[in-house]
Structure formats: structure tokens, C-alpha cells
Chains A and B, each alone.
Chain A
């Protein structure tokens, strides 16, 4: 194991079950498209997606919000993670379509069993959605890894890739998007320099 393989392995950790393909795509206008979609949403117009079916998009919003809930600070919903996924699918349908379809089929299949008559994942109560993600984590680890991978990447990737809207993910963890720094960098070296 090498230092770069540690980082790379961490990066790939959630994608192993789908061949590590979930992030590969071209990204020219992803952020702009996401912004347009969000503006439409804010204006009360139905959100248009480039590639996702609306029903799938709504389920993805619900599921990624379980990974990063809106709980006082911006979560996956506010960060626009679904738009990251949408751009991904639009640019790389060949590799991303099947894992998304698997995710949809598995969670909605389980939802139909557990909560008959209540509709798709997006229509369920928060506690029921939580139960479905917990089931994925336990019984479908590869699919859970894919969901978490999409959520993490959509939360923290450069906004140009469609998610991390207004740098919501970076602000959450305290990562400052600045190209140049001067020491002291943190509390300990600042104290040491006193």
C-alpha cells in the first residue's frame, strides 16, 4: 500500500461494486445546467433533467438526502447532488445507466414489499426512507456503495461538475477553496509561532 494508493483506494472505496465507473464523464457545462435547473425550480417551474427520469430523480433526491440530510446545514438536496448525478448520466450513460437502474429497482422493490401502496421511495416518510437505506447498507452493500459514492462525489466535487452548489459541501467541512496559503495553517502551528 502506498500513500497515493491510500488516497486512491479511499476515493474508489464506494465504487468498487460498479467497476469504479460512476464518475467518469465529460463536464463542460454541468454547473451551468445545474444552475439553470435550480433557477427553474426556485421559480416554481418543474425541474428539467438532462438524462434522469423525473421519478428516478425524485428518488435520488430522497436517497442522497439520507446520506447527507438537510438538518440545519445544507445537505445533498441543497447541494444539488441530483444534478451531479444527472450530468453524470447525460455524459456517461453507457456506464452509469445500469447502476442507477439497479438502485431504483432494488429500493423500490423493497419499498413495495415493506410499504405496500405507499408509492415510490420519494413518496415515503423520512423514517421509511431511512429504513430502506439501512437495508441497502446491510443487504446490498455494492448498491449502497454506489449510492454513497454518488452522494459524496456530488457533495464535494468541484461545483463545475453539477453538485456542491455554492460550495455547500466544502463549506460544510471547512475546506476553503483558495489557491494559495501562508503559514500558520492551523491552530497548532499558530500557537507554536507565538
Chain B
């Protein structure tokens, strides 16, 4: 590993440094696999520290001109996310079941990853999230454990996310706000009617609804536009660059160093190691499906909690027969999706939840529930919003016990679209060893690689959490004055798990027997391999993981750069 790796690109110009084009034959200081919330931030930090960084992103590079409010392009044609025809998946509830085609795992497949389409709820974890095991003790059937780092370790990096990436909010507004070294750089977004109603409901429930921290600019910020309140955040790319995606923040910062190349449409299939067990580079398919071997002095995997373990499995070798960095045998285990329950309510007057940022108020009084009182371990928070764009509302916006077609259905849509509120509960979900991402034995993707296979069954404790939160979510709507309310089911008896929150599959820890990476994100088994994304999580927090993924990435980038400067990252030479 070179200190301040040699410059490979063209010389800086008056307009700024030119983006380098690294040769596959030359070992770059760092290959970063994935450009999302983790990869974009890691690339920024390493390139700003002076290192050569090559980011390989399997998806295309799109920008505001490519983004659209068209629901079909986004929700059906999957413009911004992984596509079932290219990368099929399978699901089984337990290892004894036959896996069948399904598509439970969603992730951003575009430069910026999931941060392009996220809703932008940016909750910090609280101190309890890192040490729940110590407080609660073991839970049968769960691999519940403490993190090897504390909230205090991560706090400076949460602040960095808020200021360097851009989060709007109000410090101290939460009755249980975790300690912070600095306030938010931008004021909260305007309260919408969903927020006003949540305040009313919360007051009746004895709780406090406070301004939601959102990774969306509430005023012009660091060269980016302020939000125009178009309302199409969930699932969509921001057409004015106000959403604090790495696409609009960390990645341009990285490129401005002249040290970072973002290579899109490059799908990594294998991390190569030599006979000494050191990473030598990665093999990827380029846009024309040609294989390229890119040499690297070190590799950082930021491919998300499903693709990272899949890549490790696909990188097995004689030295690592069970998958790279998997001598512990736990790669792919403990996947957590977060609990996420929904109630719906209708109100007398217009709410117009389709306008403005998705969430303006949240509740955290229930962040840590008293197990002795509720009968289960866990906690979470609530928000109010209206998530259904017009087509989606036509499918799922009306009460399930009401008319589903005909004049009465049409009249109900006409009355309810502007008057409906979703009440979300975002909760803990436990790590379980038998909940896994593995490779399917038979199904292959469009490149011939084994497909993702999800094995997942909800832990009984979590089902109790979901049930409690779903009822309280509905109670909140009723307390806010809903004229009608109902819940979505909290359990699917045929298929469980799934979603875009992909956590826990390469957990961090101090013991190489029970974790994949150490507390500095270095693989226990491979000294020049690092893993930084949702897979690093030990527990899942309360349903809003992206802020913590970014904070971990800032911290990891910092620590990896420090290790490189100290000459503590061996390379294959």
C-alpha cells in the first residue's frame, strides 16, 4: 500500500481535476465495490485522503434528467433497482423447504445505490442500539449480541453525515434525542397535514411528535438546490438534487479530488486472492459482459447486505472453500430487514400527503419498550405519511372491506386519495442464524452466476413487536381523528422477510469465530479486504438504517486511511 498513491489521471485543470481512468493492469490503492450509501462515502473519504479509488457499480450512472415521476418506469420497470429478469432470486422459509422463485431482496442498482431512491428518513441510532444484549441478556433463537463499537464511537461520524451529506432536522426536539456534538445544518422541512395530525394523535397518546430528520435539503445547501416539495421521494430519484444521495454529495466530492473513478455498469463476480490469502483484485463483467480483472492493493466491499455475502460465496477458492472471509461460517447469516408495519386512516378534510417530503413528524417515545410490561424485547418509532402514488393508491388505497371495483370503488378513490394517511411503525428485528442469504443451487442470473437465495422466518419475538406496533399505529390514527382506520397484516404465512433494508450478514465483532469483520471493518481472515455496508450491522436498530450505514462508512473510511498511512494494510505487491 502506497502512502498517497501515485497520480494516474490527467493533470488538474482550471475547471477541477480530471476524473482518472485507471488501468486494470495497475493495482489501484482501493477498489470499492458498490457506490451507494456506504461505497460513495468510503470512496469520498479514501480519495480525499489521497488514495487512488476505483468504484465499480453494477448499475448505470443516471442523473436528474433520467429521473421521473412515472410510476411504471420506477415501480414496474425498476429503473433504479435490481431487476428480476436479470437477477432472479429464490425464497424458502426454512432450510428444509424447497426454494421457489421470488424476489424478496431489493437494492439500488445505479450509481448512488439505494440512496438514489430512499425516502430519506435519517434517524441516528441511540446508545441502546449498540448494547442491547448487555442490557437484555440472551434471547432464545437469536444470535443477539452487542456491537464492538459504541454510540460514542460513532457520534462524530453521525455529525459528519448531517453536515457533509446534508440532513435537515431540529436538535433536541425528540424527548429521547441521543447525545449530539452539534445541531443540524438545516432547519426541518415544513410540517404537512400528516405531521399536524400526528402531533394531535401523539398528544392524546401521551407521546411527542417531533420534526423528522430528513436527508433532504430544506434550503439551498453546499451548492445544491433546496427541496421543491414535489412529494415524489419514496422510490424515485430526485429531479432537483435535493435528496442527499451519495450521487449528489459524496460521489461528486470524491471525483473532485481527481483520485476517484466511478466505473458504472461493472458487475463484480469474484474477489481474487493469492496463495498468501491476500486480495489481488476483482474480476468483473463490463457493460458488454466481457470479463475484466482489475488489480487492487486492497478491496472494500460496499455491495449491500445481500450482494456482499453473495460475492464472498462466489469468491470461494481452495484457501477459502466456504467463501472468502468465511472461516467463521457465518457469512450470510443473521439477515435482518427491520420491522415495518402499516396502518391506514381516512380523515374528514384534505391531507394531501402526496405533497412535500414524505415525513415531517415522527415519534420516538416507544424507542425502547419495557419488556416486563409489553412481554417482548424491542422498540421502535412511528411516522405518518401518504406513500401511495396514484396507481399504487388504486391498488391498495381503499379499505380492504370496501368495494374494489365499480362506481362505489371509484367514488371511494375520488374521496379518499387526498384524505388518507399511512401510519408506519418502524421496529427492531432480531438476528437469527438460520435467516440467511446464500447461493441458490439451480437458479442463475443473466451472467450465469448463482442467484440469491433467501431463507427467512420471523422470530416469534419480532412478530409480537410487529403486532404491538401495528395496533399502536392504528391507535395513533384514531387518536388523530381518523373517520376510518385499518391495518395491513403483520405476518405472511407463506413468505416472510424481504425489502431494501439488508442488514447483518457479515456482522462486525471482536471474535473471529462469531463475526466476519473486526470493529474497523477489516475482514478477520483477509488483511487487505474490508466490508462496509448494512452487512456490518450486529443488530438492526429501529427501522431506519441508512444514516448508520453512512456513519459507519465515514468512520471506516477514516480508519482505513489511517491504517494505510501507517503501512498496516499489506498488499499482494
Q: A and B: real partners?
A: yes
A interface residue numbers (CB < 8 A to B):
1-14, 20, 23-24, 27, 66-69, 71, 73, 75, 130, 133, 137, 148-149, 151-153, 155-158, 160-161, 169-170, 172-175, 179-192
Q: Do A186 and B192 have beta carbons less than 8 Å apart? A: yes
Q: Do B410 and A75 have beta carbons less than 8 Å apart? A: yes
Closest to A180 in B: B228
Max chain A CB contacts within 10 Å: which of B190, B239, B355, B404? B355
Q: Do B350 and A1 have beta carbons less than 8 Å apart? A: no
One of A5, A10, A149, A169 near B500 (C-beta < 8 A): A5
Q: Do A156 and B394 have beta carbons less than 8 Å apart? A: yes
**B424 beta carbon closer than 8 Å to chain A:** yes
A104–B404 Cα distance when bound, in Å, is 21
Q: Do A7 and B191 have beta carbons less than 8 Å apart? A: no
Question: Would A66 and B406 be within 8 Å (CB), given that A8-B106, A173-B418 are in contact?
Answer: yes
Q: Do A7 and B390 have beta carbons less than 8 Å apart? A: no
Closest to A172 in B: B414
Q: Do B407 and A71 have beta carbons less than 8 Å apart? A: yes
Q: Do B410 and A71 have beta carbons less than 8 Å apart? A: yes
Question: Would A2 and B500 be within 8 Å (CB), given that A170-B390, A179-B228, A181-B229 are in contact?
Answer: yes
A172: which B residues are within 8 A, CB to CB?
A: 410, 413-414
A190: which B residues are within 8 A, CB to CB?
A: 193
Q: Do A6 and B342 have beta carbons less than 8 Å apart? A: yes
Report B482 CB to chain A, min CB distance, Å.
12
Interface of A is mostly: helix
A68: which B residues are within 8 A, CB to CB?
A: 410
B195: which A residues are within 8 A, CB to CB?
A: 189
Q: Do A153 and B72 have beta carbons less than 8 Å apart? A: yes
A-B contact pairs, 19 of them (CB 8 A): A1-B342, A2-B106, A3-B340, A5-B106, A7-B234, A7-B388, A24-B77, A67-B405, A137-B405, A149-B395, A155-B394, A158-B69, A158-B72, A175-B418, A180-B230, A181-B228, A183-B191, A186-B349, A189-B190
A150–B170 Cα distance when bound, in Å, is 44
Closest to A152 in B: B394
**B70 beta carbon closer than 8 Å to chain A:** yes
Question: Would A173 and B393 be within 8 Å (CB), given that A2-B501, A186-B418, A187-B350 are in contact?
Answer: yes
Q: Do A174 and B72 have beta carbons less than 8 Å apart? A: no
Q: Do A173 and B417 have beta carbons less than 8 Å apart? A: yes
A50–B206 Cα distance when bound, in Å, is 60
A182: which B residues are within 8 A, CB to CB?
A: 190, 229
A157–B70 Cα distance when bound, in Å, is 7
Q: Do A67 and B406 have beta carbons less than 8 Å apart? A: yes
Report B471 CB to chain A, min CB distance, Å.
16
* Number of A-B residue pairs with CB-CB distance less than 8 Å in the complex they form: 201
A67: which B residues are within 8 A, CB to CB?
A: 405-406, 409
Q: Do A174 and B410 have beta carbons less than 8 Å apart? A: no
**B173 beta carbon closer than 8 Å to chain A:** no
Q: Do B392 and A7 have beta carbons less than 8 Å apart? A: yes
A189–B391 Cα distance when bound, in Å, is 26
A73–B410 Cα distance when bound, in Å, is 9
Q: Do B388 and A184 have beta carbons less than 8 Å apart? A: no
Q: Do A2 and B356 have beta carbons less than 8 Å apart? A: no
Q: Do A3 and B387 have beta carbons less than 8 Å apart? A: yes
**B338 beta carbon closer than 8 Å to chain A:** yes
A41–B353 Cα distance when bound, in Å, is 38
Report B224 CB to chain A, min CB distance, Å.
16
One of B193, B235, B338, B347 near A7 (C-beta < 8 A): B235
A130: which B residues are within 8 A, CB to CB?
A: 406
A20: which B residues are within 8 A, CB to CB?
A: 76, 84
A130–B405 Cα distance when bound, in Å, is 10
Q: Do A2 and B196 have beta carbons less than 8 Å apart? A: no
One of A4, A6, A27, A156 near B390 (C-beta < 8 A): A156
**B351 beta carbon closer than 8 Å to chain A:** yes
Q: Do B352 and A185 have beta carbons less than 8 Å apart? A: yes
Report A83 CB to chain B, min CB distance, Å.
15
| A-contacting residues, B341-370, CB 8 Å | 341-342, 347, 349-356
B409: which A residues are within 8 A, CB to CB?
A: 67
A14: which B residues are within 8 A, CB to CB?
A: 395
**B337 beta carbon closer than 8 Å to chain A:** yes
Closest to A175 in B: B390
B394: which A residues are within 8 A, CB to CB?
A: 152-153, 155-156
**B550 beta carbon closer than 8 Å to chain A:** no
Give a binary string over B413-449; 1 marks a CB under 8 Å from any A CB, 0 the rest: 1100110001010000000000000000000000000
**B396 beta carbon closer than 8 Å to chain A:** yes
A152–B418 Cα distance when bound, in Å, is 17
Q: Do A180 and B229 have beta carbons less than 8 Å apart? A: yes
A153: which B residues are within 8 A, CB to CB?
A: 72, 391, 394
**B286 beta carbon closer than 8 Å to chain A:** no
Closest to A173 in B: B417
Q: Do B77 and A4 have beta carbons less than 8 Å apart? A: no
Report A101 CB to chain B, min CB distance, Å.
21
A135–B417 Cα distance when bound, in Å, is 28
Max chain B CB contacts within 10 Å: which of A3, A67, A149, A190? A3
Question: Would A6 and B75 be within 8 Å (CB), given that A13-B395, A71-B410 are in contact?
Answer: no
B337: which A residues are within 8 A, CB to CB?
A: 1-2
**B159 beta carbon closer than 8 Å to chain A:** no
A176–B138 Cα distance when bound, in Å, is 52
Q: Do B234 and A3 have beta carbons less than 8 Å apart? A: yes
A133–B414 Cα distance when bound, in Å, is 21
Closest to B341 in A: A1
Shortest 4 CB-CB contacts between residues of A and residues of B: A2-B499, A186-B193, A10-B396, A187-B349
**B231 beta carbon closer than 8 Å to chain A:** yes
| A-contacting residues, B394-408, CB 8 Å | 394-397, 404-407
Report B553 CB to chain A, min CB distance, Å.
21
Q: Do B356 and A181 have beta carbons less than 8 Å apart? A: yes
Q: Do B193 and A188 have beta carbons less than 8 Å apart? A: yes
A20–B88 Cα distance when bound, in Å, is 14
B499: which A residues are within 8 A, CB to CB?
A: 1-2, 4-5
Closest to A14 in B: B395
Closest to A154 in B: B391
A69–B403 Cα distance when bound, in Å, is 13
B390: which A residues are within 8 A, CB to CB?
A: 156, 169-170, 173, 175
A99–B393 Cα distance when bound, in Å, is 23
**B498 beta carbon closer than 8 Å to chain A:** yes
Give a binary string over B36-51; 1 marks a CB under 8 Å from any A CB, 0 the rest: 0000000000000000
**B520 beta carbon closer than 8 Å to chain A:** no
A175: which B residues are within 8 A, CB to CB?
A: 354, 390, 417-418
Report A71 CB to chain B, min CB distance, Å.
5
Q: Do A4 and B410 have beta carbons less than 8 Å apart? A: no
